[in-house]
Amino acid sequence: MPPAPDRRVAAVVQRSSRYAWYALAVLTAVNLLSYINRNVIFALFQSIERHLGFSDLDAGWVASAYVLVFSLAALPFGVLSDLRSRRAVMAGGIALWSAFGCVAGLSQGLGSLFVTRALVGAGGAAAAAAAASLVADYFPGQRRALAMGLYMSGISLGGVMGILLGGAFEAAYGWRVAMMAVAFPGFVVALVAWRLDDPGRPALSLSVREVLHELEIGARGAIRMIAPILIGTAVGGMLAWYLNRTRGPDSKLDTAAFAAACGVGLAVNIVQWVRQARRTTPPGELSHPDVMQTALDEMASAVKVVLRTPTLVYIFIGGALISFGMNGLVGWAPTLLSRTLGLTTLQISGVLGTYGLLAGLAGTVVGGWLADLLRRRWASARVVVAGLGFIAGGPLALWLLTIRDLSLFIPVFSAAFFFLTWYSGPLTAAIFDVAPARLSATVAGAYLLFIHLAGDAVSFPLIGMLSDMFGLDRAAYLLPAMALTGGLVVLASSRTIARDIELVTKVTGEWKAVGGAATIGSELP
């Protein structure tokens, strides 16, 4: 006798729920590994500066290489994720950052390190918007902030783990091996991520040919897709070699020429990707008849959504200030501790990695859980929790910069990092709450572009320049002050978010929950 219908439904729901949590674990691992590869270089600044003769400003520009390209590539990859396969874009991005993360360990100067780190950023951008969009689809209802909190824990946890692993590998094997060691596992993660189910998208078998077909390119097309980058790198290499021979190894012209040629190649590549998306139409039937058919239309729609949604305006501006402060703090913390407390790279990695890992994990989980709990009664709970985290953690971070005693530094650092990581899940969940699902990856890509381009892309070289002028211990005070200001801006969106959620529900007919009441549809298990 077949089981009763309600039992069959319950079994399907249970399987779907288990798979959603499995997918979240994989996507969290993707985000974690992405930020490990992003932040590993911060633990290696001192060693790289000694071996390659960098100044703090040079190191700041190397850090910005990742952020600049990540920012510029996030929006085109977000569009590509909405129009094509999120899994293919994500898996390709992971493979890209893994490959050039390994190559970065072979760098011989500022130009080569700048370019390889920039391409690591391109891979991170490809994975970021697609992965966040997938998390939002797996957890569209009341558990979204907690799910996003766990996913976004990769930012803070990956940041401190990058420093921890980088310091440990550098002490044992040197900075080159350290960069390669954290990049290599990405190849395995790319294969696992590719096999994930994509909600609302057809499942495909695993093969390189299927990946290229899903992205609507062939073998020659795959080469053409990155031809400008390859040409720019080749031209830059030849110019750098010529200038190095004619102007001498101490000249900065070779590095500048190499970076400029690669930058031009990347810019041309991005324009080419956008035009390609514009010429082609999305395969298959999309869920909404009014979905934009071209990449430029998708971008225009995303910009209109942001500008017409006050909550997103607050979150974009606040997010940029937060990115300036938080990523700057994580990036410059190892160098600052070395100069103010006299710690070795291994000691710094142990302190920041161990206590940062524990405090960051606790903060992201508590922030997501608290936001979801309070949202049952208040639609503004997610942005309120994010803002309150900075109100509590910002002053602690300012105090932290005055401490010169390690025994006091550790508890204050742990408390500050705990509160400063509350925002990760709730803030990202709030974006998906007020953005139409059909444009979610594009809006997420626009958010990443804006906050990093206006935030830490400026923060790293600016703090490096101020450090060369006034000392890093003084320049660093700007960072927690900017993060606290960003938290206050995000808190201001509590006045608009309920209205924006209602508006997007009426316009698109999507499921949104306000104050715990489901307006349309039901939650995915």
d(Cα 204, Cα 218) in Å, to the nearest integer?
17
Nearest one of 191, 267, 276 to 229, comparing CA atoms: 267
Q: Which residue has the tokens 């709990």?
A: 373
d(Cα 383, Cα 315) in Å, to the nearest integer?
9
- The backbone torsions φ and ψ at residue 499, rounded to the nearest 5 degrees and listed phi first, read -65, -40
Asked if 489 and 318 touch (Cβ cutoff 8 Å), the reply is: yes
Given a cut of 50, the residues of the chain with pLDDT beneath it are 1-15, 203-208, 210-212, 214-219, 249-251, 277-278, 280-295, 510-525
3-state secondary structure 66-97: HHHHHHHHHHHHHHHHHHCCHHHHHHHHHHHH
The pLDDT of residue 330: 78
Q: Which residue has the tokens 């705990």?
A: 418
d(Cα 372, Cα 143) in Å, to the nearest integer?
6
Nearest one of 261, 257, 308 to 436, comparing CA atoms: 308
Per-residue pLDDT reduced to its tens digit, 24-67: 889 988 988 988 888 888 777 777 777 777 666 676 677 777 77
Cβ-in-10-Å burial (0-12, 13-18, 19+) of 267 comes to middle
Joined together, the tokens standing for residue 48 give 């790289």
In order of 20, 116, 188, 464, the CA distances from 205 in angstroms are 20, 31, 17, 47
d(Cα 423, Cα 156) in Å, to the nearest integer?
11
In order of 123, 237, 487, the CA distances from 390 in angstroms are 30, 45, 5
d(Cα 71, Cα 87) in Å, to the nearest integer?
20
Q: Which residue has the tokens 């830490």?
A: 456
3-state secondary structure 255-317: HHHHHHHHHHHHHHHHHHHHHHHHHCCCCCCCCCCCCCCCHHHHHHHHHHHHHCCHHHHHHHH
Nearest one of 470, 475, 380 to 426, comparing CA atoms: 380
d(Cα 164, Cα 340) in Å, to the nearest integer?
19
The DSSP result for 461-482, as a single string, is: HHHHHHHHHH-HHHHTTHHHHH
Mean pLDDT in the chain? 74
Per-residue pLDDT reduced to its tens digit, 428-454: 888 878 877 667 667 777 787 788 777
The pLDDT of residue 218: 47
User: Per the confidence metrics, is the pTM higher than 0.75?
Assistant: no
On the CB side of 30, how many CA atoms lie within 13 Å of its CA? 34
The pLDDT of residue 282: 43
Cβ neighbors of 299 (< 8 A, separation 6 or more) are: 75, 79, 274, 442, 446
Nearest one of 151, 162, 307, 279 to 221, comparing CA atoms: 279
Joined together, the tokens standing for residue 284 give 């298959």
On the CB side of 328, how many CA atoms lie within 13 Å of its CA? 32
Cβ-in-10-Å burial (0-12, 13-18, 19+) of 136 comes to buried
Per DSSP (E only), the strands in 119-203 are none
List residues bridging with 517 in a β-sheet: 514
Per-residue pLDDT reduced to its tens digit, 273-296: 555 544 544 443 333 333 334 445
Asked if 167 and 343 touch (Cβ cutoff 8 Å), the reply is: no
Asked if 216 and 273 touch (Cβ cutoff 8 Å), the reply is: no
Q: Which helix (H) or strand (E) holds 517?
A: strand 517-518
d(Cα 238, Cα 243) in Å, to the nearest integer?
9
The pLDDT of residue 486: 92
The pLDDT of residue 481: 92
Q: Which residue has the tokens 């780190």?
A: 117
- The backbone torsions φ and ψ at residue 517, rounded to the nearest 5 degrees and listed phi first, read -100, 125
The pLDDT of residue 419: 94
Question: DSSP 3-state assignment of 518?
Answer: strand
d(Cα 358, Cα 380) in Å, to the nearest integer?
28
* Torsion 463-468-471-474 (CA) sign: negative
Number of other CB atoms surrounding residue 508 within 10 Å:
17
